[in-house]
Amino acid sequence: MVQTNGTSKRMIRLGLNHLQVAELLNEAIEKQLISYDRQSIKLSDLGSQILDELESVFKKTKKEEWIAREEKNRIPILDKKTIFVPNQKELFF
């Protein structure tokens, strides 16, 4: 939220209330993860370093890892000469 100059609306949609958001911001200020002056709230050097570490841990760049394959419903490869006729009792229309 601080890094992207965002608002607290997303945190509120996730179930937090305004008081909880304020408490989280105060905790981050106390831990020196963000700096606060009268004009703005900025990510500190320590906060930026921790954010970079967490992004490398949580960000998955390989698309194969985004969604796990479901092997139980995978259809086996058929020979070109094979004609597939599904079981009529298993079809639901």
**Rounded-to-10 torsion of CA 30, 36, 37, 38:** -110
Closest CA to 4 of 51, 36, 46, 45: 51
- pLDDT score at 3: 65
Query: Using an 8 Å Cβ cutoff, are 68 and 20 in contact?
Result: no
pLDDT tens for the chain, residues 1 to 93: 666 667 778 888 888 898 998 898 888 888 988 888 777 788 888 988 888 888 877 776 677 777 777 888 887 888 888 887 777 777 766
Q: DSSP character for 79?
A: P
- pLDDT score at 14: 85
- Joined together, the tokens standing for residue 9 give 């609306």
Closest CA to 22 of 34, 67, 44, 74: 34
Whole-angstrom CA distances from 70 to 13, 41, 56, 75, 76 are 31, 45, 27, 11, 13
